[in-house]
Chain A
């Protein structure tokens, strides 16, 4: 397994946001984790990236225990995250955002990668010199994905990439995620949009209040009565 999380807990002061999470992601897999508002999805992804302290449990990446590793060391190992709410660097240009995505690679072939991103996301090329903050929500999301890809990740963490986007753009974002999977990228996708996420996932997890309540293949979860009731509104 590329990513193995076991018994992970995390607190905000006295509030326990994660209550012993077990999750695995295999090489080349697209794993979706769905859950309602406040279930702990963002906390989990931040824990994996090392920007949220965890109180117990372990995170292993490619066999190595990274539970206490500094965030930058994890990026160097190949863990990249597209954070919730996109979080592009608003005052900096689109191109500078991409360069910072490659910050950990110390300048090797960055220009070639930027060209590749422009080929994959032509709109970013058009806007290359504009401040990222002036882009529309959908464009910012593409930039956030491209910025994460600039680090050549072995594992891509996506936190609600469809949040706040118009339906047409949501479809486009999920198409991009499928393309990335097709190219062999390992993806851990966190979503409130359970239907779209499970539809493209190899496997899925359902979390409620900091705990995993269901694990199955994407298609099985989509067909599951409880999931349909709670998350698909059917």
Chain B
């Protein structure tokens, strides 16, 4: 009984960590530009696919990982430069549609560069399951959880401790005042796409040994990340992390106790519920502002 619950919980936290990273990606871009970047899932896919093909080409794992993260970051920056920036005077809905178009384009490119097959990566430290109070967990799950946790810590450090991180927060809060401080808001926008792409790539790489990846793996992951971000309150980083874990665990419990046929539906029920009943999410804008 408990062992079964623990089992579902562990696999929920594992996928939830990936949703959390994707959700953070949505939050960072949303904060700097109010754009919801529906190509976020493609960053996850490109991270996994690129690493997998680079390893297959004979590169050592660490080099493949670094290169794949770099490639994905460049894709993110290029997305901002070629697709979002030229439309900077368009309204937000138009830009969101542009990101949907970009996601379709990136999937098409992935199909041409790679193929339609499923790709994997060797697990980072073996496949021998670890037993834990009657449940089992593969070592790669610990990698997923650990690496995601580390990425979130680094991100927290970046925003709270570095001047550029603070400048990004300031720009998100008040663009005009940020410009008056001499902050280049264009650079902030570019950085937000680059950072979101890095987060996506990291998630995609660590999860590929467990879930495998293919050219359209980003679609579902992106939507789940979006539900995480909406659940946490769009633009709230900590909210996106909590939202990601909730979506992951809810999905895993639902699949385990109800039916795995409903696994993907659960995330969408959560989105609809949030949009109807609490549009600002669990941690929507706090009222620290005084006029």
Interface residues of chain A, those whose CB is within 8 Å of chain B, are 49-51, 70-72, 75-76, 80-81, 83, 87-92, 96, 99-101, 103-104, 107, 131, 133-137, 140, 147, 151
Interface residues of chain B, those whose CB is within 8 Å of chain A, are 163, 166-167, 169-170, 173-174, 176-184, 288-291
Contact B183 A92 (CB under 8 A): no
**B182's contact among A71, A131, A136, by CB below 8 Å, is which?**
A71
User: Could you say which residues of chain A place their CB within 8 Å of the CB of B170?
Assistant: 89, 92, 100
Contact A103 B181 (CB under 8 A): yes
A75 CA to B183 CA, complexed, in Å: 9
A75 CA to B184 CA, complexed, in Å: 11
Nearest CB on B from A148, distance (A)? 8
Contact A75 B182 (CB under 8 A): yes
Contact A104 B180 (CB under 8 A): no
A-B contact pairs, 6 of them (CB 8 A): A72-B182, A72-B184, A75-B180, A83-B180, A100-B170, A137-B291
A72 CA to B166 CA, complexed, in Å: 17
A136 CA to B290 CA, complexed, in Å: 7
Contact A103 B167 (CB under 8 A): yes
Contact A91 B181 (CB under 8 A): no
Contact A133 B181 (CB under 8 A): no
A107 CA to B163 CA, complexed, in Å: 9
Contact A89 B289 (CB under 8 A): no
Contact B179 A92 (CB under 8 A): no
Knowing A83-B176, A87-B176, A92-B169, say if A101 contacts B288 (CB, 8 Å): no
User: Could you say which residues of chain A place their CB within 8 Å of the CB of B181?
Assistant: 75, 100-101, 103-104, 147, 151
Contact B180 A92 (CB under 8 A): no
**A51's contact among B167, B169, B176, B291, by CB below 8 Å, is which?**
B176
User: Could you say which residues of chain A place their CB within 8 Å of the CB of B184?
Assistant: 70, 72
User: Could you say which residues of chain B place their CB within 8 Å of the CB of A71?
Assistant: 179-180, 182
User: Could you say which residues of chain B place their CB within 8 Å of the CB of A147?
Assistant: 181
Nearest CB on B from A1, distance (A)? 23
User: Could you say which residues of chain B place their CB within 8 Å of the CB of A75?
Assistant: 180-182
User: Could you say which residues of chain B place their CB within 8 Å of the CB of A91?
Assistant: 169, 173, 288
A76 CA to B177 CA, complexed, in Å: 15
Contact B173 A90 (CB under 8 A): yes
Q: Which residue of B lies closest to A106 (CB)?
A: B163
* 3 tightest A-B CB contacts, nearest first: A75-B182, A104-B182, A87-B177
Nearest CB on A from B116, distance (A)? 45
User: Could you say which residues of chain A place their CB within 8 Å of the CB of B169?
Assistant: 89, 91-92
Q: Which residue of A lies closest to B176 (CB)?
A: A51
User: Could you say which residues of chain B place their CB within 8 Å of the CB of A107?
Assistant: 163
User: Could you say which residues of chain B place their CB within 8 Å of the CB of A131?
Assistant: 288
Knowing A100-B166, A133-B289, A135-B290, say if A87 contacts B183 (CB, 8 Å): no
